[in-house]
Structure formats: C-alpha cells, structure tokens
C-alpha cells in the first residue's frame, strides 16, 4: 500500500512546480481529456486521459519512484487517478485541490 495522497492548494502546487522545474523525477499530470488539455493546461503538464480505456495500463507504465502532481478540471478525476496510483504502489502523489478551475480562480498562469 502506498503512502497517503497529499491534497495541496493551487498556490502550493505552483510553488512545488517552480521548485522542481529542472527535476526529471517530478511529473505534472493532467488527467483531463485531450480537448480540455488543448484549450489550456499548466505549463509542463503531461496529458494522461483518466477517461481513456487504457488509463490503468498507462499509469502502470509510469516510474513509481518519481513524484507526481495530478490535476483535472475540478479535482474529481485527479482524486480518482491519485487513488489508482496509490493502489498500484506509487508513493509520492500530490493532488491539486479544486483542479484547474481553482488554479484559474487564484490567477495562476496557464498555457
């Protein structure tokens, strides 16, 4: 069983992203649809569609030793994703509370 999932505010997430800008062991995951991702996303994010049929397989291909910061539109899908990752043995998972909607409300930058 993995460690506890850390829910963090968009402000803390922004700080975490800035601190890890050159860290290859830090991964920012956007688990929304490709359409949502193309409209706007957080810079440096990698798309991993939570609603895709091969989602679980794609998660299993990820490096369990890396740190992941996960987000979606409102926080629902990313919570599901974080739980899946946790069940698969990932230990360092952060979830942005309120998702990209809250990120935007806080005035944080999008690509």
The pTM for the full model equals 0.95
In the annotation, is 72 catalytic? Answer: yes
Look at residue 42 and tell me if it is in a domain: yes
Query: Do the beta carbons of residue 79 and residue 98 sit within 8 Å?
Result: no
pLDDT tens digits along 34-47 = 999 999 999 999 99
Provide the 10 A C-beta neighbour count for residue 20. Answer: 16
What total number of domains does the chain contain?
A: 1
**What backbone torsions phi and psi does residue 63 show, to the nearest 5 degrees?**
-75, 115
Look at residue 110 and tell me if it is in a domain: no
Q: Please give the torsion angle defined by the CA atoms of residues 16, 33, 79 and 82, in that order, rounded to the nearest 10 degrees.
A: -70
pLDDT at site 7 = 97
For residue 38, the enclosing domain spans 6-105
Rounded to an integer, what distance in angstroms lies between the CA atom of residue 98 and that of residue 1? 25
Query: Do the beta carbons of residue 5 and residue 23 sit within 8 Å?
Result: no
Q: What is the CATH number of the domain that holds 37?
A: 3.40.250.10
Look at residue 1 and tell me if it is in a domain: no
State the DSSP string of 58-69: HHHTS-TTSEEE
pLDDT tens digits along 50-85 = 999 999 999 999 999 999 999 999 999 999 999 999
Per annotation, catalytic residue among 17, 59, 70, 72 = 72
pLDDT tens digits along 25-34 = 999 999 999 9
Look at residue 13 and tell me if it is in a domain: yes
Look at residue 111 and tell me if it is in a domain: no
């Amino acid at each position: 069983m993995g460690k506890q999932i850390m829910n963090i505010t968009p402000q803390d997430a922004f700080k975490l992203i800035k601190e890890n800008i050159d860290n290859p062991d830090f991964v920012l995951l956007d688990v929304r649809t490709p359409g949502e991702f193309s409209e706007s996303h957080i810079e440096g994010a990698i798309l991993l569609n939570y609603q895709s049929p091969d989602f679980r397989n794609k998660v299993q291909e990820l490096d369990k030793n890396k740190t992941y910061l996960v987000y979606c539109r409102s926080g629902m899908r990313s919570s599901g994703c974080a739980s899946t990752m946790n069940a698969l043995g990932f230990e360092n998972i952060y979830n942005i509370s309120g998702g990209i909607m809250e990120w935007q409300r806080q005035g944080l930058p999008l690509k």
